[in-house]
């Protein structure tokens, strides 16, 4: 009985967070499950799924997607919350450990064979960047904020924007790279030297997941991004 109550309370908290449209109060705490906050409930949004999963009479794929979204999404949310409550414990983690929950979600979604590949990788990038930001990077953000407060006008404007403005809705090659390049010298100057290896690793991983380093080739990502139209051409990873 007690455990059922706990589960109910947990579900209520989960659904409440879902409904309130954000996972936390800090502006870094945006929802990574969706690539776009406005479309957060549209996990079934047509543009994100492969054409083969959208046929009216073929529901298994879509059911599998909603199961992943619910169960893995919930597990992942729980893990994310524990990182945001105790970010200190992530200081000794490597990137694999830090993004473990993202990986579970990714694997479940990949097994449905319904999601377009670039959508999966983009979702992974969003999840891992979120975990990085609320985990090890949160200490660095705090140092940068304190520095900026005590000595205004010294940090480059791109760092100040990063600290003070909401993150972009869409992460792509250019904005991830320029943010990384802009932060790196300040991270070296102001933050714990222990952060640097995982900072660099995370930055390189983002370039990989978003198909910027040439190792992943998503067949129609250019079309989708340039046009932002719904095109159901499937994507191939070379
Ligand atoms: C990350 O840490 C875990 C646990 O300590 C270890 O098993 C794993 O090999 C590490 N991964 C990398 C890429 O270093
Ligand atoms: C949109 O994509 C099509 C290919 O499907 C391409 O021919 C066209 O130039 C693109 N439009 C823009 C504005 O990039
Ligand atoms: C999707 O792209 C293919 C190939 O680029 C094109 O033939 C098709 O018309 C496009 N479909 C839509 C709905 O834009």
Beta bridge partners of 49: 115
| pLDDT of 238 over the 50 cut | no
The answer to which of 11-15, 20-24, 108-112 has the lowest mean pLDDT is 20-24
Distance between CA atoms of 200 and 137, rounded to whole angstroms?
12
Distance between CA atoms of 136 and 154, rounded to whole angstroms?
23
| Residues above pLDDT 70, as percent of the chain | 72
Nearest CA to ligand 2 atom 3: 223
Ligand nearest to the CA of 227: 2
Relative to the CA of 94, which ligand 1 atom is closest?
1
Distance between CA atoms of 134 and 24, rounded to whole angstroms?
10
Q: How confident is the model at residue 58 (pLDDT cuts 50, 70, 90)?
A: confident
- pLDDT mean over 123-137: 94
**81 alpha carbon – ligand 1 mean position (Å):** 22
Relative to the CA of 226, which ligand 2 atom is closest?
14
Q: How confident is the model at residue 219 (pLDDT cuts 50, 70, 90)?
A: low
| pLDDT of 233 over the 70 cut | no
Instruction: List all residues 6 or more positions away from 223 whose beta carbon is below 8 Å from its beta carbon.
Output: 229, 231, 233
Pocket of ligand 3 (CB under 6 A): 229, 231, 233
Ligand nearest to the CA of 205: 1
Per-residue pLDDT at 134: 95
Nearest CA to ligand 2 atom 7: 223
Is 96 near ligand 1, meaning CB less than 6 Å away? Answer: yes
- Indicate whether this model's pTM tops 0.75: no
- pLDDT mean over 10-35: 42
- Give domain limits for the chain: 50-236
Residue among 223, 228, 231, 235 whose CB has most ligand 3 atoms within 8 A, to mutate: 231
- Tell me the longest C-alpha to C-alpha distance in the chain: 62
Distance between CA atoms of 66 and 60, rounded to whole angstroms?
10
Residue 11 CA, distance from chain mean position: 22
Give residue for tokens 């064979």. Answer: 113
Nearest CA to ligand 3 atom 1: 231
- Of the two residues 56 and 137, the one the predictor is more confident about is 137
**234 alpha carbon – ligand 3 mean position (Å):** 11
Joined tokens for residue 158: 């791109």
């Amino acid at each position: 009985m007690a455990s059922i109550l706990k589960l109910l309370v947990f579900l209520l908290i989960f659904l409440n967070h879902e409904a309130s449209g954000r996972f936390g109060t800090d502006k870094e705490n945006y929802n990574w499950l969706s690539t776009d906050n406005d479309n957060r409930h549209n996990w079934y949004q047509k543009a994100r799924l492969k054409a083969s999963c959208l046929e009216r009479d073929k529901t298994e794929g879509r059911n599998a997607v909603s199961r992943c979204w619910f169960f893995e999404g919930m597990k992942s949310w729980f893990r994310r919350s524990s990182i945001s409550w105790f970010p200190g414990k992530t200081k000794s983690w490597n990137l694999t450990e830090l993004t473990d929950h993202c990986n579970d979600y990714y694997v479940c979604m990949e097994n449905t064979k319904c999601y377009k590949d670039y959508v999966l990788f983009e979702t992974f990038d969003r999840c891992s960047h979120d975990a990085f930001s609320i985990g090890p990077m949160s200490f660095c953000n705090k140092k940068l904020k304190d520095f900026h407060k005590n000595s205004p006008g010294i940090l480059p404007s791109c760092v100040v924007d990063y600290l003070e403005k909401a993150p972009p809705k869409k992460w792509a090659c250019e904005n991830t790279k320029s943010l990384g390049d802009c932060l790196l010298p300040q991270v070296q100057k102001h933050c714990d030297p222990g952060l640097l290896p995982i900072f660099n690793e995370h930055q390189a991983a983002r370039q990989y997941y978003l198909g910027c380093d040439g190792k992943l080739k998503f067949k129609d990502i250019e079309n989708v991004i340039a046009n932002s139209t719904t095109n159901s051409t499937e994507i191939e990873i070379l």
